[in-house]
Amino acid sequence: MEMTLRWYGSKFDTVTLKQIRQIPGVTGVITTLYDTEPGEVWSRGRIRAMKDEVEAAGLHVAGIESVNIHDAIKTGAPEREQYIANYIETLENLGKEDIHMVCYNFMPVFDWTRTELARVRADGSTVLAYTQEAVDALDPEKMFESISGDMNGSIMPGWEPERMARVKELFEMYKDVDDEKLFENLKYFLEKIMPVCDKYDINMAIHPDDPAWSVFGLPRIIINKENILRMMKMVDNPHNGVTFCSGSYGTNLANDLPDMIRSLKGRIHFAHVRNLKFITPTNFEEAAHLSSDGTFDMYEIMKALYDIGFDGPIRPDHGRMIWDEVAMPGYGLYDRALGATYLNGLWEAIDKATKRGI
Ligand code: DNO
């Protein structure tokens, strides 16, 4: 595996490449072209410029998170043909620039959903949190307003104000799309893009839906072992793979994370590893990465990744806001750096124990 950190580009991120370079063991960043709209073609020139900037800081671009999918593709609207053609062109340009991992999601309307961006924990740190009760009490069109006050002036991916202003229209687009239709549209998209992925050896890594169940009555399909294996089989090509995000699949306590990882051998192209602390099954907060601070056994998660021979990029995910840092919720420097170091420590211990036959 390669330890990486997500970086939001010099225009948006409070964290610098120099800081990332100083986290021991972090050699790559996961980034994207932040000022593009879903559906736009990414030119080789712009991809090159992004790579140059990262490489000048002594790091490399280990993958893209995300090349977002236009809603016409997710809903199966007639304009999808054009948007799929554009997506293929973007993949081709990424491949020519030697980028081989692309994370994306197939979530309708909202990307990941949290109901609090700054819940205060006993130690005074603040974390992202979710309660189903809060979602149930909320008008989806007001979702953005309810959390935007805690964004620290940042624009969080999936929560762009332009997009949130169109929520009503987006709901309308998805009104005839159920789980089966969404699966069908995903299959259609994947079948069209697999040839370019084969040609340039690009690993597509679908991000799970977060939380891993339907919110606001919208269909959500990338939620559990059964569905993800269905997706792997429906387009049975190793380039059709997943982002294993422990914090997203882990929202549903019925998901056995190490078992899911083991069932996806050869198909996990990217890993987001973080911990959650459950207060009740539908009320959770994003804990420190350390096992004892949350609900998951992080050793077992890393061990499962190790055992299946995972060799893609991995990153710590949503960190707590600590040490008075002011940053995009979940994406400050300090707690993610602690997370990277902890995950590296687990990996080293697992590697050495395995090699010594312990
Ligand atoms: C949240 C992220 C997601 C993820 C996208 C992938 O912090 O994990 O926004 O990047 O769903 O397309």
User: What CATH code is carried by the domain that includes residue 117?
Assistant: 3.20.20.150
What confidence score (pLDDT) does residue 231 get? 98
Our mutation pick for probing the ligand 1 site, out of 7, 207, 276, counting the most ligand atoms within 8 A of Cβ, is: 207
- Would the CB of 207 count as within 6 Å of ligand 1? yes
What confidence score (pLDDT) does residue 122 get? 97
CA of 318 to the centre of ligand 1 (A): 10
Residues 20/54, Cβ–Cβ less than 8 Å: no
User: Block means of pLDDT (10 residues each) for the chain, length 358 residues?
Assistant: 97 96 98 94 98 98 97 97 98 98 95 93 97 88 74 74 83 95 98 98 98 94 98 98 98 98 98 98 97 98 98 98 96 98 98 96
What confidence score (pLDDT) does residue 256 get? 98
What confidence score (pLDDT) does residue 140 get? 76
What confidence score (pLDDT) does residue 33 get? 96
CA of 347 to the centre of ligand 1 (A): 24
- Would the CB of 121 count as within 6 Å of ligand 1? no
CA of 286 to the centre of ligand 1 (A): 15
Domain that holds residue 351: 2-355
- Would the CB of 9 count as within 6 Å of ligand 1? no
What confidence score (pLDDT) does residue 340 get? 98
Instruction: Give CA–CA dist 6/256, Å, rounded.
Output: 26
Cis peptide bond upstream of 125, omega within 30:
no
Residues annotated as catalytic are 207, 245, 272, 317-318, 331
Our mutation pick for probing the ligand 1 site, out of 5, 65, 106, 215, counting the most ligand atoms within 8 A of Cβ, is: 65
What confidence score (pLDDT) does residue 46 get? 98
Question: What total number of domains does the chain contain?
Answer: 1
Which of 255, 252, 272 is CA-nearest to residue 317? 272
Nearest CA to ligand 1 atom 3: 112
What are the CA-CA distances from residue 139 to residues 129, 145, 151, 216, 247 (Å)?
18, 10, 19, 8, 25
